Amino acid sequence: MLAAGTGLGLAGCQPRLSGLFTSADTHPGDYPTVQAVEYMGRLLEQRSGGRLGIHVYPGAQLGNERDTLEITTFGGLDFNRTNLAPLNSVEPMTIPPSLPFIFKSVDHMRAALDGDIGEEILESFTQHDLIGLCFYDSGARNFYNTRGPIFTPDDMKGLKLRVPSSDLYLAMVNALGANAVPMPFDEVYQSLAQGVIDGAENNWPSFESARHYEVARFISLTNHLLTPEVLLMSKVSWDKLSAADQQMVRQAARDSVPHMRKLWDARVASSRETILASGVEANEVDTTPFAEMMKPVWDEFLVTPQQRDIAQRIVKLGETL
Ligand code: GTR
């Protein structure tokens, strides 16, 4: 009944059972995003009397986020958990929550995405044949590298820093004086180890679980981005569901968010501890000059009135917190 039979011949893809949705994630099986979608699958199983469930393919085994997004768009995958960054070039409404320094804190990010702002962004995916179901936390991203601590933008000059495939990230890193190198997430460890790049930027759990910290021994706490994760469903799969099942899917996704946040907060703490215990040098950063340098980047990427409206509302909401 679901997208069964869309047979793409994906390597490693098990035969699709009726009622068992497929989902892709770039992270390993114990990562909070994977665990959250599996939890959602268990909710669906309970609520549908065993009729519906989700099989998550973790560890980028079905491809990097750009590839799996494309597969999801034409129905070869039912669900996809990705970051908003690879969607920046697809949907302009993903730009505001991806802007450097737009969120003051995790609470600010959660408040924005739990309300109307989040709903409007999720809605914007429909025109791309994707159903936006919910946002998950991705914490704050920091720069890390193999060379030395970053205290000021000057310290970034000439560093080759990996960014996800997003023009916004590229512009951000280049504006700070480093050389941005777009690259899929699963290639970063090797590129760091081989010296192809000097560093990257990510949250504590990704820095830890992808083992980047084993090579990049300096992390500078710039907290420059809190770009969230998103759970998307293929519209092809969605359209095959009854209205009642669509509602059940939406609700199960929503109900997985508080669970994810608990897992997330615990994972941030444990990843941070593992990294610091391994001797990685972490330094605090006065982010004022970094944020200043992002003004032209905001102007360049906030193009439409809708984008500017969302960005303004996010900033305003931050002032009330
Ligand atoms: C992580 C995110 C992944 C991926 C990765 C990246 O924080 O959870 O989905 O986008 O960053 O930088 O490519």
Determine whether the shortest distance from the Cβ of 25 to ligand 1 is under 6 A.
no
pTM: 0.94
Residues 6+ apart with CB under 8 A from 274: 208, 213
pLDDT at position 11 is: 41
Per-residue pLDDT reduced to its tens digit, 200-223: 999 999 999 999 999 999 999 999
**How do beta strands 160-163 and 179-182 pair?**
parallel
Index of the ligand 1 atom closest to the CA of residue 203:
7
pLDDT, residue 10, reads 45
CB atoms within 10 A of CB 127: 10
Given this model, what pLDDT does residue 109 score?
98
CB 162 within 8 A of CB 143: no
Q: What is the pLDDT of residues 54-86, one digit of tens each?
A: 999 999 999 999 999 999 999 999 999 999 999
Query: Mean pLDDT over all residues of the chain?
Result: 94
Cβ–ligand 1 contact at 208 (below 6 Å): no
Q: How confident is the model at residue 245 (pLDDT cuts 50, 70, 90)?
A: very high
User: Is ligand 1 within 6 A of the CB of residue 64?
Assistant: no
- Take residue 173 and report the two structure tokens written for it: 């890193």
Q: Which residues have C-beta within 8 Å of that of residue 178, sequence separation ≥ 6?
A: 156, 157, 158, 159, 160, 161
How deeply is 89 buried, as exposed, middle or buried, from its count of CB atoms within 10 A (0-12, 13-18, 19+)?
middle
* pLDDT reading at 115 higher than 90: yes
Q: Whose CA is nearest to atom 1 of ligand 1?
A: 206
Q: Which atom of ligand 1 is nearest to the CA of 184?
A: 13
Handedness of CA 275, 280, 283, 288 (dihedral sign): negative
pLDDT band at residue 8 under the 50/70/90 scheme: very low
Decide: 203 and 139 in contact? Cβ < 8 Å.
yes
- Spatial neighbors of 59 by CB under 8 A, at least 6 apart, are 25, 26, 27, 28, 29
Ligand 1 pocket mutation pick from 67, 84, 88, 185 by most atoms within 8 angstroms of CB: 185
- What average pLDDT does the segment 129-142 reach? 98
Model confidence over 248-306: pLDDT tens digits?
999 999 999 999 999 999 999 999 999 999 999 999 999 999 999 999 999 999 999 99
Q: What residue's CA is closest to ligand 1, atom 8?
A: 83
**CA-to-CA distance for 157 and 261, rounded, in angstroms?**
36
Q: 271 CB under 6 A from ligand 1?
A: no
Ligand 1 centroid vs 53 CA: distance in angstroms?
Answer: 25
Task: Compute the distance between CA of residue 294 and CA of residue 310 in angstroms, rounded to an integer.
Answer: 18
Phi/psi at 54 (5° precision): -130, 130
Question: Is 65 a pocket residue for ligand 1 (Cβ < 6 Å)?
Answer: yes
Q: Is 138 in the pocket of ligand 1 (CB under 6 A)?
A: yes
Contact by Cβ (8 Å): 135, 123: no
Q: What is the pLDDT of residue 3?
A: 42
